[in-house]
Structure formats: structure tokens, C-alpha cells
Chains A and B, each alone.
Chain A
């Protein structure tokens, strides 16, 4: 819907016949202030404490293997999500900004995958040429 309108107006402009309706004059809407109830911040604060305590307990109790890893990653992503969404107000920003900021770091995962293969290969060559034990 919105894209169709944009295209229509864009072509309209190319032909040089521009109507002076206020929506098309290019004045940016007012900048919004991020004001939210204090209680929301306190709740998120408490949750960050709980999640940090949980991830610390994972190490304290001494969980190992996949359970340890999935728990650590889940707590980490929950904490990061809370900080970005509420403390940094990303949840109330427009989608254009959210995508511009959140998507690029996710692409780092491609880099991670490449380096996993690379370090596996390095480990293999080290094992082959220097022996299994250091």
C-alpha cells in the first residue's frame, strides 16, 4: 500500500506537476521523546538481575555440555534483547532504524561460521603436523 503510493507520487514528481499538499512537502514529523513509566525500567532491571544470576548459577552449579551452552546463550540473548528493546528504546523506534541497526550485526554470524571452519582446519593441520599431544 505505502509503496504503491510512494511510486505513484514519485512518478508524478518526474512529470513536474506537483500538488502542494502538506504530506508531500518533505517536512519531517516531529521528533518523538522516549518517555515511559519508571516502573517499566525497574521491572527490566529486576529481570536483568535474575537473568544474570541464572547465568552465573550455570557456572556455579557446574553444568556442562549442550545444556550449559544453550542456557548461557538463551540468558545472554534475553539480557541483550531487554537492554536494546527497553533501555535503548529500540522497541518504540520506527522499523527503518531498527532494521538498519539490528540486521548488520546479525550478518556477523556468517563471519562466525567462516571462522569456525577456518579454526577447525587450523586445528587439523596443527594436529597432523605437530602430533596429537602438545
Chain B
């Protein structure tokens, strides 16, 4: 507790007027998160807002499922794969879970090697993470195709409550979109690491600001969040 720094300026200092004053006041020396950079704090706040988005999706799914009189299709059977003459329940979903967890593991290690300025290992681990993420999206596309050919639509399906399809496509679709964007940004950051942008201080193409290896950690926060959301989808949508 002792290392908390107080922010106060004593006498009121002259402040710029007009629009410049608005910007200066909002970006002034008040700081809540003492040892966290603005980039990391903003990523956390974005993830918080994203939590509410996914929270609302899962809530609406819960409400639809609890309030319908029509029996809900059994996910254990719906998502079973026919392998070697028998139906194995949820096997594809289980593999997808393991793939996403593995990608989280490689991402955490990439962050670590990034702070050690080990460009080669960082970039390789990030590309591996992106590859696992792309594998996940590919398996999800396979799953969607399978369900669509079996007749699942947002407005109905052959096995029970019509809300099953809309909940499924909405929740997994939104999650898959997050994974896809994560893969794209992983490749962008991996390229910057590989090229040594964070060593030479080369300005970013969009922000024109010098990057730091902290960008790898911020990217990692997003990626772990995608994995985190999957934990909840796996429990509530597939195992319920």
C-alpha cells in the first residue's frame, strides 16, 4: 500500500482553454491504474465491455431455454461425431477446447519470450498460436456445415426447440469472429516482432507510434479472453 503515489498539483495551474482544454483536462495527470500502461488498461476495459456482450448472449440463451415448453435438443447427441462405427459425444467440441487451450499456452510463452527480447521464439510462438486459432475456426466451420446440412436453421431444427439454432449460431458465430480477428492481429504483431519493430522503434503504420514488447502482452490479453469465453460457452452451451 505504501507505494501508492498521490496525484495532486498544489495550486491550480493555468490550463489551456477551448477544445485543447477539453483534451488536456481529460488526459491530465489523474491516473487510477498506477503501474499499468494506458494500452493495457484500455485492453482490459475493452475486454470488460466484451464480457458484457457475451454475458448478454449467454443470458438470452438461458432465458430462451428456460422459458420454452418444447424440449431442448440434447447437445451431447447433436454434436456427436460418427467415428469408427459408434457415436462419440461432443468429441469435436472437446478437441476444439484442447486446441484453444494449447493456443493460450503458446501465447503466454510468447509474451514471456517477448520481454526477454527473444524475437525468434516470440514470433514462432505467436505464429503457432495463430495456426492453432485458425485450426479452431476451421473446425468450427466444419461443425456449422455439419449442422446446417442436418437441417439446423436459426428458426428451427429437426430435434426440438426452435431457439436452439438461433442461440447456437449467434453465440458460436460471435466467438468465432473474435477468434478470426485475433488470428489476424496475431499475425500482424508476430510480423512486427520478427522484423524487430520493437527493437528499432519503428513507427506503427496506423498510429505512427513506437511499439514496445508490451504489445505482445496486450495481444495476449485479448487472446486469453477468447479462450476464457470459450470456457463459458463450453460449459453452458455444450455441457448443459
Contact = CB atoms under 8 A, between A and B. Distances in A.
Interface residues of B, number: 68
A67 interface: no
Contacts, number: 188
B115 A34 contact: yes
| Chain B contact surface mostly | helix
A55 B228 contact: no
Given A38-B112, A45-B101, A55-B239, A104 B2 contact: no
B9 interface: yes
B44 A42 contact: no
Query: Chain A, interface size: which category?
Result: 35 or more
A73 B235 contact: yes
B175 to A, nearest CB: 15
A97 B41 contact: yes
Interface stretch (B47-55, B141-149, B176-184): B47-55
Contact of B112 (A36, A79, A94, A123): A36
A109 B203 CA distance: 43
Interface of B: 1-11, 29, 31-37, 41, 44-45, 47-48, 51-52, 55, 59, 62-64, 66-70, 76, 89-90, 94, 97-98, 101-102, 104-105, 107-109, 111-112, 115-116, 214, 217, 220-221, 224-225, 227-228, 231-232, 234-235, 238-240
Interface of A: 1-2, 6, 9-10, 13, 16, 18, 23-24, 26-36, 38, 41-42, 44-45, 48-49, 52, 55-56, 58-60, 72-73, 75-76, 79-80, 83-84, 86-89, 93-94, 96-97, 100-101, 104-105, 108, 111-112, 115-116, 118-120, 122-123, 126-127, 130, 132-134
